[in-house]
Amino acid sequence: MDAIRWVLGEQKSKELRLSKMTDVIFNGTKKRKAGQSAAVTLTFENTKNILPTEYQNVSISRHLYRSGESEYRLNGVACRLKDIRSLFVDTGIGSNSYAIIALGMVDDILSDKENARRRMFEQAAGISKYKTRKKETLNKLKATTVDLDRIEDLLFEIEGQLKSLKSQARRTQKFFDLKEKYKELSIQYALISSQTLKEKFDATNKKLQEEKDKYLKLEVEIRTAEADLEKIKKDNLDNEQTLSNRQKKLNELVAAIRNKENEKSLLEQSIKYKTQSLSQLKKQIEEHQVITANYQTEIAKLMSSVTESQQVFNSHKQELDDAKSKLDSIRTEHSSAKNSHDDRERKRQEIERRIFDSEKAIAIFTNNLDNLKLELERSKVFFESRAVEYNQQKEQNEKLDQQIELVIKEIESIKTLESNRQEKLQNSRLEIEVLKEEKGRIARVLDSKSNEYQLLKDMVESMEGFPESIKFLHSNWKKNALLLSDLLDVDEEYKTCIEQYLDPYLNYYVVKDLAEAKLAIDMLTKAQRGKANFFLLDELLGVKPTKSNMASAIPARDVITVDGRYQQLIDYLLQNVVVINEELDDLRHFSSSDDLVLLSKSGRFTRKRSLVSGGSVGLFEGKKIGRKKNLEKLQKLISSKENELTKIEDKLAKKQNDLKILQDNKHQGDLSLKQAEFNEYQRSKVQLDTQIQNYLRLQAEQNEKIKFAETQMDIASRGIVYNEDLTISLRADMKIVLSASGEENKIDELSVKLSVASEDYNTKNVSFIRQQNLLANIQRDLEFNQKRVSGANEKLVMDTIKVDRLSEEIKSAENKLVQLKENLLSEYDLRKEAENHLGQVEQGYYTARNLIIEKEEDLKVKNRVLNRLQLEVQNLRDEYTGLKFEINAVGDRLKIEFNVEIKSILEEVITTELSFEELQEKVEKLKNKLANFGEINPLAVEAFNEMSERYESISTQRDDIIIAKDSLLETIKEIEQTATKQFMKAFEQIRENFINVFRSLFTEDDNCNLILEDEDNPLESKIEIIAKPKGKKPKSLSQLSGGEKTLTATALLFALYLLKPAPFCIFDEVDAPLDDANIQKFNKIIKKFSKDSQFIIVTHNKSTMAAVDVLYGVYMQQQGVSGVSAVDFRNYEHEEVLKEVG
């Protein structure tokens, strides 16, 4: 069923129980490779002309490839899905029609999931085409409305532009009138100005020559005075050197005095510090002496206490010794008497114990002897039965060893295969990772270069960074016109320096001759879009290439690649220009007479004769040259990277496919089975080994037990005889002991004496220990104080040594200080003497210096006069140049403003009657009026006419769209009326059919109905199903049983069929919930409707199978490949086995 829905155009993978659409492609088995595509073909016999085509057989096919591409075919000809859907419209055939019903769809129909019920009614009523037409018409209406809104906006915008253009046209005409009047007066003003300026020019030139002569005469006098001054300065240079030497010696003497003064200050501070330390130490010595005396007094007291405590201790010790001697004497006497009594008592008890032990031993030996005999008998019987089991276990163990050996070999073989597979897997994964990384790297480079290409392309197309004139010519002049920056192809490392040098010329156009340049200039002039510059190739002939003798210099022309026809232009622009690697500090050898221009390779500076320029290099410098060349390079690089990426992706796809095959060919299952088999054999082997070992161990233990038992039985026999003889002897000894008399009264008296003596000894021992502890405490205090006295004495000695050392150091420092003061006094005298000598030398030097200053002042006065003359000359020159410039400016202004040559009007007669001032004022007023007139649109009149025509054209289009919109609204209204009438007619017929079929499936007394929830809007209204089998009053369809739901849905389907039979119908396990009685009803109604339609039923129900004409069984002829087997029942009679019993 899924295959039929798929070929009919189902697009939702979820509806076909797929996670993705390519899951329909065969994935392969162990013996068959995976398929690369899936295809289904469905053939219809159009004998009843249900399909609107002249063909008797119509085949539709759908092909899906692993790449995701899908293809539909109609009778073998490729077509669109829309074509197939159009073929089947209103035939009841479709991927979601009521002709294809699965068990789960029964619930969808009854619960009206996703409007499933309404969709079926529309298909049966044949209004699907109307709904499709309405949807298409609504889309057209929406598009028409959007177009109308857009045109309205456009007309509104054009109306505003028309108003603006109209006022601009009036304003432009007024501007042109003012400009023409301004031109006439300006030409008259230029004639008068030229004559006036020529007279001023001649007067200024004469005065300039006179001032130049004065300037040259004074300059000679100044040069003579400067020579005399230099001679005096040279003579005074020796005096300056002597003064410098004496000043240096004085400075050295002052520095030495300063150092000794610092040394003196440090010595005084040191003496002061050491004196304070000495005083502190003496104070500490006095304190330690007082503390030591106190410790000595305390020690004397403690020694006296030790003597007294020792005497008391000796007295307590003597008393303790006497009490202990007395206690020992009484204890000895008491012990002797008690021992005699205890010996007799112990002897009696010992004899009684031995008699008891002997009788007990006789009983034990007798019992053991009986137990040993019984145990020997049991062991014999047990081992006779275990011997048979032992032999059987040995045989089983040998068989298991053979089986385990065989399984181990098989496991090793499988492990080898799996190890090889894992190794191949690992290698494949590594290769895939490498390919992915390479793919990612190439993709990143491709993305980066594509973005760079697009950005550069946008910049080239939009002429970003170029003047308005260049942009205008680019859009309106020749499309193949080239700028200098587009011709150059420069190595990346030289781009910065070449661009810096050629920057003034990069926006120049390169043209063949003057005529071509004139055409562009005329366009700019007419459009008033600024100026442009042009290189004329036909005038650049005979330029010699640059040659340099500098070893490290490269001619700039050599780092640029251009087409051969432009080489002369490059040689002209870069004549005597070279590129160097050196920095400015390395150019000390550069001769100012050289004609070379040196460009720093880094772009940091440019050096030529008498001039150097440089500084930091901008971030975007070097990016303007060769944009179009860069575009071509980037395009080639992108193409190369795309080819690389395609190859990598192909390799990656192949490797991933190989990896999938390796992953599928796992040996883990076989290995697990063999491992489980081995483990089972191993467990059995361990059990058998354990049982055999247990038997052998028990057998050995039992043999030992038998030997031990026999030994024990012999020992027991001898023990019984021995103990019987011993008992007789002990009873005789007991009679002798009982005959002796006791001395208990004497023992009691001695016990009382012993108690009194022991109490006296304990009292004296306590007093002795207390005195012993007191003596030990006093001795510890004495020892502690003696140690403190010893430490204080050591500290006293150390402090005394420090006092002696500090006293010596203070004495030595005071002697050194006295010597230092004497030396300072003598050096003070030397400093005074040196200062006097220095004053004398300074007086002679400054006398000569004053003379030089007088001479210099005189020269300054003359230089000021010279400068004034130079300034006057310069002013006259400026005036001369200014007048010359003004004369030229008059001509330039006429040329620029009106394109009139001054020479062409010099012969004209001045026609104005206005004075020069009045004429100048009037010209200025007109000029200001034009300047303040504001911007005008020179094409305003032409643009206004074009915009008017456009407005009329768009207005006509708007009227046409309004008519089309009204037509679409009328069409929608007609579609709705026709569809509503047809739907209501079909609905009433379906409702009657549903009631009849429902009662035929249930009983005549059962009630059912179909109701429109919104009768005012039947095309959008939900359809409610009411089904009430006899004896039930369910509130909703969900309360019906599974079989009742199926029969209700079946009744609805056949109600639709009665209205519009579909050519075929497919039921997928729809009969599953039905019991035997309902199955018979289901089969009969299928049989009834099969006269007009072909029914295909997927079922597991035997009753349904028995009722069909042809039975197809699906089986798997090999793993992953299905087969179909057919049985035709139409030639056989059907006999009912079960019949109704009346």
- Identify the pLDDT of residue 639: 87
Residue whose C-alpha is closest to residue 556's, from 625, 613, 628, 619 = 625
Alpha-carbon gap, residue 1100 to 8, rounded angstroms = 26
Q: How confident is the model at residue 592 (pLDDT cuts 50, 70, 90)?
A: very low
DSSP β-ladder status, 577-580 and 597-600: parallel
pLDDT of residue 1136: 59
- Residue 338: what pLDDT? 67
Q: For position 619, what pLDDT does the model report?
A: 44
Residue 1122: enclosing H or E segment and its boundaries? strand 1121-1128
Q: Is the pLDDT of residue 1114 over 50?
A: yes
Q: Are 486 and 510 in contact (CB under 8 A)?
A: no
CA separation for the pair 33, 963 (Å, rounded): 62
H-state helical runs in 913-1041: 916-931, 940-1001
In sequence order, what are the residues at sequence separation of 6 or more whose Cβ sits closer than 8 angstroms to the Cβ of residue 899?
525
Please name every residue paired with 510 in a beta bridge, in sequence order, or none if there are none: 482, 535
SS3 1041: coil
Cα separation, 1127 vs 1076, whole angstroms = 23
pLDDT digits (tens, 9 = 90+) for 887-909: 777 777 777 777 777 777 766 76
Q: What is the DSSP string of 711-752?
A: HHHHHHHHHHHHHHHHHHHHHHHHHHHHTSPP-HHHHHHHHH
d(CA 154, CA 148): 10
Q: Out of 477-491, 903-917, 949-963, which region has the weakest mean confidence (pLDDT)? A: 903-917
**Which pLDDT tens digit goes with each residue over 94-115?**
777 767 777 667 777 777 777 7
In degrees rounded to 5, what are phi and psi of residue 781? Answer: -60, -40
| pLDDT over threshold 50, residue 1141 | no
What per-residue confidence (pLDDT) applies to 593? 43
Query: What SS3 string covers 185-237?
Result: HHHHHHHHHHHHHHHHHHHHHHHHHHHHHHHHHHHHHHHHHHHHHHHHHHHHH
Asked if the model's pLDDT at residue 979 lies above 90, the reply is no
- Closest Cα to residue 229, out of 854, 681, 852, 793? 852
Tokens for 190, please give them.
Answer: 């230029």
CA distance 94 to 70: 18
Structure token digits, residue 744:
């208990």
| Distance from the Cα of residue 1032 to its chain's centroid | 65
Nearest to 525 by CA among 1105, 982, 938: 938
Which distant-in-sequence residues (6+ apart) come within 8 Å of 604 by Cβ?
583, 614, 615, 616, 617
**Which tokens in the block code for residue 710?**
């026999």
Q: What is the DSSP letter of 1018?
A: T
- State residue 741's pLDDT score: 45
Question: Residue 892 to residues 190, 552, 897, 899, 900: CA-CA distances in angstroms?
Answer: 11, 47, 8, 9, 9
- The predicted-structure confidence for 494-527, as pLDDT tens digits, reads as follows 878 888 788 888 788 888 888 888 888 888 888 8
Whole-Å CA distances, 628 to 158, 559, 634, 1121: 38, 18, 10, 61
In this prediction, residues 156-171 reach a mean pLDDT of 76
Query: Per-residue pLDDT for 705 more than 80?
Result: no
For residue 948, give Cα distances in angstroms to 157, 164, 167, 882, 954: 12, 12, 14, 53, 10
CA proximity to 380, closest of 136, 7, 706: 706
DSSP lists the bridge partners of residue 606 as 599, 613
Cα–Cα dist 860/866, whole Å: 9
Give 724 or 640, the one with higher predicted confidence: 640
Query: How far are the Cα atoms of 1037, 1048, 1069, 1075 from residue 1041, in angstroms, in the given order?
Result: 9, 10, 16, 11
**8 Å CB contact between 70 and 63:** yes
Distant-in-sequence, close-in-space partners of 962: CB < 8 Å, separation ≥ 6: 148
What does the block give as tokens for 242? 């002597």
Distance CA 256, CA 250 (A): 10
- Report the half-sphere exposure of 59 (CA within 13 A, side-chain side): 10
Q: How far apart are CA 1074 and CA 1083, in angstroms?
A: 11
- The answer to whether residue 1065 scores a pLDDT higher than 80 is yes
Is the pLDDT reported for residue 621 higher than 70?
no
Contacts of 171 (CB under 8 A, 6+ apart): 933, 936, 940
In the β-sheet with 605-608, what is the strand arrangement from edge to edge? Answer: 554-555, 577-580, 597-600, 605-608, 611-614
Tokens of 509: 């156009």
The vertex-994 CA angle with 988 and 998, nearest 5°, equals 155
Asked if 902 and 894 count as a contact pair (C-beta separation under 8 A), the reply is yes
Rounded CA Rg of the chain: 66
Residue 556: other Cβ atoms inside 10 A: 27
Which pLDDT does position 1142 carry in this prediction?
A: 38
- What average pLDDT score do residues 348-366 get? 73
Among candidates 872, 1060, 985, which has minimal Cα distance to 89? 1060
Written as one letter, the residue type at 958 is: R
pLDDT band at 740 (very low <50, low <70, confident <90, very high): low
Q: How far apart are CA 439 and CA 644, in angstroms?
A: 9
The confidence score (pLDDT) of residue 548 equals: 62
Which conformational region is residue 206 in: left (phi greater than 0), alpha (psi within -120 to 50 degrees), or beta? alpha
The CB density around residue 607, as the number of other CB atoms within 10 Å, is: 19
**DSSP letters of 100-130?**
EEEHHHHHHHHHTGGGHHHHHHHHHHT-HHH
Predicted local distance difference test score (pLDDT) of residue 39: 92
pLDDT above 50 (res 995): yes
Backbone angles phi, psi at 58, to 5 degrees: -120, 125
| Percentage of residues in the chain having pLDDT higher than 90 | 1
For range 649-659, the mean pLDDT = 84
Work out the burial of residue 940: count CB atoms within 10 Å of its CB; fewer than 13 is exposed, 13-18 middle, 19 or more buried: buried
Examine the pLDDT at 819 and tell me if it is beyond 80.
yes
Tens-digit pLDDT profile for residues 1073-1099: 888 878 888 888 888 878 777 888 889
Phi then psi dihedrals of residue 1117, to 5 deg: -75, -25
pLDDT at 61 over 90: yes
Backbone angles phi, psi at 622, to 5 degrees: 90, 0
Strands laid side by side in the 509-511 sheet:
482-483, 509-511, 534-536
Count other C-beta atoms under 10 Å from residue 524's C-beta: 19
Q: Are strands 534-536 and 509-511 parallel, antiparallel or unpaired?
A: parallel
Q: What is the mean pLDDT of residues 388-403?
A: 77
Residue 825, exposed/middle/buried by CB under 10 A (0-12, 13-18, 19+)?
exposed
CA–CA distance, 424 with 662 (Å, rounded to integer) = 8
618 pLDDT more than 60: no
Domains and CATH numbers, the chain: 1-88 (3.40.50.300), 95-122+984-1142 (3.40.50.300), 489-625 (no CATH)
Output the average pLDDT for the chain. 77
Q: How confident is the model at residue 1140 (pLDDT cuts 50, 70, 90)?
A: very low
In whole angstroms, give the CA distance from residue 30 to residue 34.
10
Q: Provide mean pLDDT across the span 459-478.
A: 73
Copy the structure tokens of residue 1037. Answer: 């369809």
